[in-house]
DNA sequence: GCATGTGAAGATATTCACAGCC
DNA sequence: GGCTGTGAATATCTTCACATGC
């Protein structure tokens, strides 16, 4: 029961942190449309979450809303940005300039919000020396120098899986403390370094799992559609009713 | 009831489902190396999780290990694949053939495991009609026809954010029931359709948050560096493979 | 009146620790 | 002896429901 609302300087739950970027995205959109305030209900709908969760999440940053009114859009944008560390500029190096690396380098949202691509690095003799997204592609041998000289904090691994761990090791020993891994493998890193993995196969497989379930329950539904009295099965025939997916907006 | 171990035909927890693809990846690697069996400890290390969690996860699929020995690699690969629905072929359409769409289309791991790219679709007059990754790029107007005729189940949205929702709506109304969204926005879909979001900004922002924290705690550490009885900072990362025992359990 | 902020309840997820089996 | 499989303990996350304050 703090007398006044503290910005809660202790831990923000991981689950909350992972949703803040989504809120920020929605809020930025609102700000651009000139919307001055937003209710938890509205913002939650835009972010695809339930409003109680949104309020709880925001409450971890402090009390930035006004009862009976809602949240000031600009104000919230500022606070979430600050909380995520977007007020400073993070320098990123992209290793691997294949199709994916190129896509990442050209990705607009990069520079816009606190991140700048400091360098592109690749091992291919044919691509080194060319320019991608306005930056020269440097040889892999320059990796350590670039990370050190430009004080790069975050490395993006967009290489084939078989060299990803080696690249990661080199990034880390050169001083990178955060890694975003697009290679389809698990990277191991020393304590104090954070890795996040983004993998197409993984995402597709998770979708496939749910597709399969849905197909199975559709079938069951068909089979019992006439009877509908529900005689058999006390034990779970299939699946709960419609168990709506994580991201589906209500 | 079960005299023998049932494959637990009811719900597998979401958290488990999201890790199965990682296990599968590690197991596939082991299989290719000709490793016949693996212990929970080893597999957990490869997957970057703790071994109790791995065992609990696998126990949801049934009892496929042998006490005192470990898990049969091939056998596990089969069962996890089946559980994820990879024994059937899922047809995917990629909408948006920019840098990212191209990267996705060329992504090898696609065809290898239960997924096939049925079509590429784009709105750009300049790119429609060309071939990417061996497939012709079709005009956006063909979207519905393609989804229906080829019975596509999964749509990949790799378009700019401002058209993502419209594309998604068209995919869904044409019959797609799973969507993988690479556009930096939240898609809303009807009940029964699942969306998964993959967003570079989001990942970078989550990394930035932790970077910022680390920087703050490094500072604190510096201040108290002489005292230090051995504080290498706690958590902060994806579980490192070294999982040190708190004390030798008696 | 109306929407935030939050204790408390409920649901999930993780970890421990050991029984059971090879 | 070694390793799986799992109840029980813990931790984390979500949701409810309403007091609080504009």
pLDDT tens for each residue of A126-180: 999 999 999 999 999 999 999 999 999 999 999 999 999 999 999 999 999 999 9
Contact B20 A205 (CB under 8 A): yes
Distance from C-alpha of A195 to C-alpha of B39, rounded to nearest angstrom: 25
A98 interfaces chain B, CB cutoff of 8 Å: yes
CB under 7 Å from any atom of strand D: which residues? Answer: A 13-16, 49-50, 52-53, 55-56, 66-69; B 5, 38-41, 51-52, 55-56, 58-59, 63-71
CATH 3.40.50.720 given to domain A90-198: yes
In chain A, list all ranges with CATH 3.40.50.720: 90-198
For the stretch A221-246, what's the b/e string if a residue is b when 16 or more beta carbons lie within 10 angstroms of its beta carbon?
A: eeebeeeeeeeeeeeeebbeeeeebe
Closest alpha carbon to C1' of C2, residue: A68
A193 interfaces chain B, CB cutoff of 8 Å: yes
Distance from C-alpha of B172 to C-alpha of B179, rounded to nearest angstrom: 8
Contact B84 A247 (CB under 8 A): no
Confirm or deny that A223 is annotated as ligand binding.
no
Candidate CATH numbers 3.40.800.10, 3.40.50.300, 3.40.50.720, 3.40.50.620; the one for domain B90-201: 3.40.50.720
Taking only the tens of pLDDT, chain B with its 250 residues reads 333 344 444 689 999 999 999 999 999 999 999 999 999 999 999 999 999 999 999 999 998 999 999 999 999 999 999 999 999 999 999 999 999 999 999 987 665 678 999 999 999 999 999 999 999 999 999 999 999 999 999 999 999 999 999 999 999 999 999 999 999 999 999 999 999 999 999 999 999 999 999 888 777 766 665 554 433 333 333 333 332 233 333 2
A123 interfaces chain B, CB cutoff of 8 Å: no
Distance from C-alpha of A188 to C-alpha of B233, rounded to nearest angstrom: 17
Please enumerate, by residue number, every residue of B annotated as part of a binding site for NAD(+).
96-101
Chain A residues lying within 8 Å of B176, measured CB to CB:
none
In chain B, list all ranges with CATH 3.40.50.720: 90-201
CA distances from A154 to A15, A195, B126, B170, B204 (A): 22, 10, 35, 37, 8
User: How does strand A194-197 pair with strand A115-122?
Assistant: unpaired
Closest alpha carbon to C1' of D1, residue: B68
Contact B186 A26 (CB under 8 A): yes
Contact B107 A200 (CB under 8 A): yes
CATH topology of domain B14-84: Arc Repressor Mutant, subunit A (1.10.10)
Q: Which of A26, A153, A198 has its CB closest to that of B211?
A: A153
In chain A, list all ranges with CATH 1.10.10.10: 14-84
């Amino acid at each position: 029961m703090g007398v006044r609302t503290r910005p809660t300087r202790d831990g923000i739950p991981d689950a909350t942190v992972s949703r803040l970027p989504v809120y920020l995205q929605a809020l930025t959109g609102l700000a651009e449309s000139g919307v001055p305030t937003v209710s938890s209900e509205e913002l939650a709908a835009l972010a695809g979450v339930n409003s109680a969760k949104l309020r709880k999440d925001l409450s971890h940053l402090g009390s930035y809303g006004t009862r009976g009114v809602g949240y000031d859009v600009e104000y919230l944008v500022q606070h979430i940005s600050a909380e995520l560390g977007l007020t400073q500029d993070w320098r990123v190096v992209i290793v691997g300039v294949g199709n994916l690396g190129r896509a990442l380098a050209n990705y607009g949202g990069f520079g816009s919000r606190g991140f700048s691509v400091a360098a592109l690095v690749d091992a291919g003799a044919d691509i080194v020396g060319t320019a991608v997204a306005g930056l020269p592609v440097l040889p892999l041998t320059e990796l350590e120098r670039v990370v050190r000289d430009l004080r790069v904090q975050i490395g993006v691994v967009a290489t084939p899986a078989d060299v990803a761990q080696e690249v990661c090791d080199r990034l880390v020993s050169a001083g990178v403390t955060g890694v975003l891994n697009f290679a389809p493998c698990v990277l191991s890193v020393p304590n104090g370094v954070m890795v996040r993995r983004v993998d197409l196969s993984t995402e597709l497989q998770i979708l496939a799992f749910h597709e399969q379930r849905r197909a199975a329950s559709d079938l069951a539904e068909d089979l019992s559609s006439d009877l509908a009295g529900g005689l058999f099965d006390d034990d779970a025939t299939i699946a709960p009713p419609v168990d709506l997916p994580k991201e589906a907006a209500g």
